Amino acid sequence: MPVLHYGTAEVQKPAEGLERRLVSLEKLMTAVLDFSNGPQAEPDPMHSHPHEQTCYIAAGEVLFFIEDEAPVHLKAGDMFYVPSGKQHAIQLLTQTARLVDSFSPVREDFLIS
């Protein structure tokens, strides 16, 4: 059935203070990221990937960094996107935050065998 309940979804813990839940199809993935390790004094390291990415800030506040642009303060209800190959990062401004990321194509590196 094409339904994933948050409370029973498999939880990945890719880093301290981060939980990730996934749902995906052949060409699209959505990841719910729950952060509990903020606020952060510094942004996460800049990174890039070949995937197109959109992000919805469901809770909390972050600074969004993308390549040579000035950081942007985002809060619940805001969104951002990242084109394929662009360097980007976030910095948590609140103790907790929930981000909902969508990727195309699927992030194979997020899938657990």
Domain that holds residue 71: 21-107
Contact 62, 97 (CB under 8 A): yes
- pLDDT at position 16 is 95
Does residue 85 sit within a domain?
yes
- pLDDT at position 12 is 97
Does residue 13 sit within a domain?
no
Contact 106, 29 (CB under 8 A): yes
Does residue 16 sit within a domain?
no
29: domain CATH number is 2.60.120.10
Does residue 33 sit within a domain?
yes
Report the predicted TM-score, pTM, of the whole model to 2 decimal places.
Answer: 0.94
Does residue 51 sit within a domain?
yes
Number of domains in the chain: 1
Does residue 1 sit within a domain?
no
Q: Per the omega criterion (within 30 degrees of 0), is the bond before 71 cis?
A: no
Q: What is the pLDDT along the chain (113 residues), one digit of tens a residue?
A: 689 999 999 999 999 999 999 999 999 999 999 999 999 999 999 999 999 999 999 999 999 999 989 999 999 999 999 999 999 999 999 999 999 999 999 999 999 75
Does residue 4 sit within a domain?
no
Contact 73, 93 (CB under 8 A): yes
Does residue 7 sit within a domain?
no
> Which amino acid appears at position 99 of this protein?
L
- pLDDT at position 2 is 86
